[in-house]
Structure 1
């Protein structure tokens, strides 16, 4: 009988994709959706807020008390991995660049701590999304913005884009397996193709031409990433009529302290225009 592995995914859609990648790499283990039946628990962690860190620590401690073998990965591996490892709370810690080796890592009998590097480009192609009706497509990794409050560039690295051919192959395979709705995800998806002759708008156009693709949804965008070419695709029927655009604040003084790139006056014009085009809009604000 194979050892049973349970995946606990915290945080963003990027982590959902990464968990699926790891699931497909497990050859010598059985995946279970029953937490209690698992022998090993993989915690794909989030560290974007103190609350996220606290939730991960609490979950790890609870699983250890229940006698589970716990492995930690995700963003929290870079911020809390060492302390949890030294405290004996987890059997192993591994970074994002190491997840493709998960089958071999789980076969180890000794404890391990391998964060890897933050420069890798994830060219993983998955065939399915277990328990999901929509497919998540990771198009980039990392963020080169340096907002003063944000730790993400230090745990995900600078922005780098996944090769377009890999992304389109991913969509083609998933569409062939019955998925019609696709959610583009990444650390900062609007930075896709930066410094290259490609961008998120041209990528979506190519995706829409693949047979079986009915709808494309987007993760969070930055206001400064809404380009003229992006505005051209707003009329396309395959684009979900909802956009999440991160503002974080409207005060000029606070935006400067946050080291943000957006400006309130321009944000207001953008939101007004998008609303008039019939888009439902979501955003984030930091209020304390």
Structure 2
């Protein structure tokens, strides 16, 4: 039986898509070691130029180490770079998002193939296990109706469309029955869930919280305008992870307008302060160095960052994407300036996170995911990573911690 190895790049949505493909492989053996694989599925990311480069480098390395291995390109990169890689014979096959549920039959093709499919498909697969995971990722929607000027994702994931509520509930019920207690709701634009079905994120959350075995629910990146009163009513529920990731992308209104964003700082800071008052940690996405980000815009932006009750940041240095409005905007920001701004931003948030962790050292509920040499890693309800030392095997166990050693580099505890 041929062995298949999955290499997953990028977001949680890709991680879920990999699990779908794994669940559909009936005539192949899953390999956890790429060295032993006959086939390597590259579930790719294309959100930045750097992501594309990482995928290309990985493919080149695999072919150099094992010229006989069949490399199949899947994921978002299949739609943006798949045609070129296939034409250059860098990969044996290319399969689009809509094809992943057919993977068992697709891999049986001896001849090179290019099956890009369409961008209107919605998966129906129910995943019952997550290979190598303690937490379960649940994809609840696909695609995005936003048209931010810098973003290529709608072109490779399609417009927003929701999974069936009944399928999501069944998915969570089966996984909870198999021992999973923490669930991360993910998608391309998670907060748009239900808009095409007369439902909402809040209504879905209420129903999922009633599934036996569900202990904690985390939510992927939300847009500020998607957090309405119905959602806010759930913030005090015990099953809600006390961390929200709300994508601002910038704190200068000039830059938000250039980016074609729907949020503005005045309403953003009110929202963040309201949620922080309920004891939440707050993260955001932030793009540094977008064209037009002059010194005045950055000075304003960074002063506003300091006002926000932020604890986490996923910061990007702007990466030009072909066929997006931002790609032709001027003036561009020099690389060294963008790099310095990125460092300034991340250091500010790192300091904020340290202060937050110092104030939250008790009643930390942690799901430990993995361990090596008696040291286990996990995340608390505030999405802060913690290392736990123990003589017992604590993998996939929940622990309640009250004696925490906090440093600028992270949290530690012993049991």
User: TM-score, normalised to structure 2's length?
Assistant: 0.69
2:50 alignment partner, SS class: helix
Structure-2 residue corresponding to 1:239: 240
The answer to whether the 8 A contact 2:138-2:183 is kept is: yes
Q: Which has the larger strand fraction? A: 2
Structure-2 residue corresponding to 1:110: 111
Structure 1 residue 31 and structure 2 residue 41: aligned?
A: no
| Alignment length (residue pairs) | 287
Structure-2 residue corresponding to 1:65: 64
Structure-1 residue corresponding to 2:21: 22
C-alpha deviation, 1:196, in angstroms: 3.1
Structure 1 residue 254 and structure 2 residue 255: aligned?
A: yes
Unaligned runs of 5+ in 2: 290-415
| In 2, Cα distance between equivalents of 1:163 and 1:176 | 20
| In 2, Cα distance between equivalents of 1:25 and 1:213 | 25
Q: How does 1:189-268 map to 2 (within 5 A)?
A: 189-268=190-269
1:82 alignment partner, SS class: helix
The runs of at least 4 aligned residues of structure 1 exceeding 3 Å deviation read none
The answer to whether the 8 A contact 2:177-2:213 is kept is: yes
2:213 alignment partner, SS class: coil
Structure 1 residue 148 and structure 2 residue 149: aligned?
A: yes
| In 1, Cα distance between equivalents of 2:28 and 2:254 | 53
Structure 1 residue 121 and structure 2 residue 122: aligned?
A: yes
C-alpha deviation, 1:79, in angstroms: 0.8
Structure-2 residue corresponding to 1:285: 286
| In 2, Cα distance between equivalents of 1:79 and 1:9 | 17
Per-residue CA distance 1:68-91 (angstroms, 9 max, x = gap): 210000000011101111111100
C-alpha deviation, 1:197, in angstroms: 2.1
Structure-2 residue corresponding to 1:78: 79
Distance 1:47 1:168, change over 3 A: same
Structure 1 residue 182 and structure 2 residue 183: aligned?
A: yes
2:241 alignment partner, SS class: coil
Per-residue CA distance 1:184-206 (angstroms, 9 max, x = gap): 00000000011432111110110
Larger RCO: 1 or 2 (CA < 8 Å, sep 6+): 1
| In 2, Cα distance between equivalents of 1:82 and 1:189 | 29
| In 2, Cα distance between equivalents of 1:271 and 1:134 | 27
1:284 alignment partner, SS class: strand
Structure-1 residue corresponding to 2:329: none
2:107 alignment partner, SS class: helix
1:103 alignment partner, SS class: helix
Structure-2 residue corresponding to 1:157: 158
C-alpha deviation, 1:250, in angstroms: 1.3
Structure-1 residue corresponding to 2:50: 51
Per-residue CA distance 1:165-187 (angstroms, 9 max, x = gap): 00000011001111111000000
| In 1, Cα distance between equivalents of 2:227 and 2:23 | 34
